[in-house]
Each structure stands twice: as C-alpha cells, then as structure tokens.
Amino acid sequence: MLTLEDFIAKYEAYTDEELYIIYQDAANYSEDAGKALNIIIEKKGGLESLIKRLEEKTIIKNEKNRIANEAVRFGMEGVDASFLQNTTHSSILSKQEVNEIIEAYAAKATELVEDKKVNSETVVKSLIGCGLASIFGGAFASLQFIYFGATSFLMVLGVALICYGTVKLVTQKSYNNTAVLLASFIAFILSYLLAYFAFLIFGYLG
C-alpha cells in the first residue's frame, strides 16, 4: 500500500492538468493521497495559481488553434503563407510563434489540396492501381472461398484494405482523392467477382 511519501513522489511528476483532474475527484482517493495532493499543489503555488496556469494554457491553445485553422482555410484557397504571416497578428503569441504555426499548417493545406487534385496523371495511376488491386484482392478473396468456403468481416476488411492500399501506393494519394476512392471501390467489387469465378472453377478445396 502506498504511503504519504509515495504519493508525494508520484504527484511531483504530474502535470498541472493531471493534478487538477485528481483534485476534482479527490473524494474518491485515500486520505494519504488527498494530503499528498494538497502538499504538491501548495508546493506549486496553490490551487488558485494552478487554475490560473491552466486557464492561460487554454487561452494559448485556443489561439494556436485559431491561427492554425485560418492557415489551413486560407491555404486551401490558394493564399500564400508569406501573405498570411504578414497579415495575421496575435496579442497572445509572439510573431515567431505565429509565423511557425502558419508555415506548418499552410504547408499541410497545400499537401491536402494536392492530395485532392484529380488530373490526367491521377486518373491513369488510379486505373493502374485498380487493375493491380483487383488482382491482389481477387487472389486473397479467392482463398477465402476455395479454402474456407465462406468469408468473414475481417476477411472482407482485408480485401478492402488490400484494394485501397494498392491504389494509394500507385497513385501516392489518399482517400481524400475522389479517383482513389472510386478506384478502390471498383477494385473491391472486381476482387469478389474474380473470387466467385475462381470458386466456380476450382470449387471448395478446404
């Protein structure tokens, strides 16, 4: 059983957030745990100081989220990161922090726009990926019918993942891209059609 000293040593490593969560649920802790909690909170400036620090962290977090969301939104509309850095201001964060957030999230926005873009290259690669995915997925689905005589949710999920993974690998784009989703779905259907024909030819071998 933990002693008062054990609890003190344990709580010393806790963050302000963790200490406040325990404080809110202190009634469900042992007497020694409650005493240790009070000792650590007082050691860190008291409950009022702890709450104030948490409020300040929340304000900073919200401000970072605001700037990040703006960077993504404007970035997806084609607004340059340098323009956002010159026009975005914050009374909470330093200019350097603002610029770093904008640079990071504007880059993510650019990647997302590129990922969603459907051009001739994407279509061609999606078709190639669909063909390969149908073969790989069909081979896996065929094994389900020929050697197990049936399929299961996990096996169906496996075929779906094979199809999507193959198309994604070939196109280098994710499910955010319409062509990738469509190609993956078509490959999934073709996989089970191939598996059905394989079953008709070879029958159940399990």
State mean pLDDT over 60-76: 93
Q: Which helix H or strand E contains 206, and what residues bound it?
A: none
Q: pTM of whole model > 0.85?
A: no
| Cβ neighbours, 10 Å, residue 204 | 11
Band (pLDDT 50/70/90 cuts) for residue 120 is: very high
Q: Is residue 166 pLDDT above 90, yes or no? A: yes
DSSP conformational letter for 144:
I
Indicate if the pLDDT at residue 106 is higher than 70. yes
Mean of the pLDDT values across residues 2-26?
89
Both tokens of residue 25? Answer: 């649920």
Percent of the chain whose predicted confidence (pLDDT) is above 90: 64
pLDDT computed for residue 149 by the predictor: 67
Query: What pLDDT does residue 6 have?
Result: 84
Mean pLDDT of the chain: 91
Is the pLDDT confidence value at 33 over 80? yes
Across the range 44-63, mean pLDDT stands at: 94
Determine the average pLDDT of the residues in 127-143. Answer: 94
Show the CA angle centred on residue 77, arms to residues 169 and 80, nearest 5°. 95
Dist. CA 206–CA 99, nearest whole Å: 62
> H helices of the chain, where?
4-11, 16-24, 31-43, 47-76, 81-87, 95-116, 120-143, 153-171, 178-202
User: Does residue 30 carry a pLDDT above 70?
Assistant: yes
Instruction: Give the mean pLDDT of 99-105.
Output: 93
Radius of gyration of the chain (CA): 28
Query: What average pLDDT does this structure show over 149-170?
Result: 90
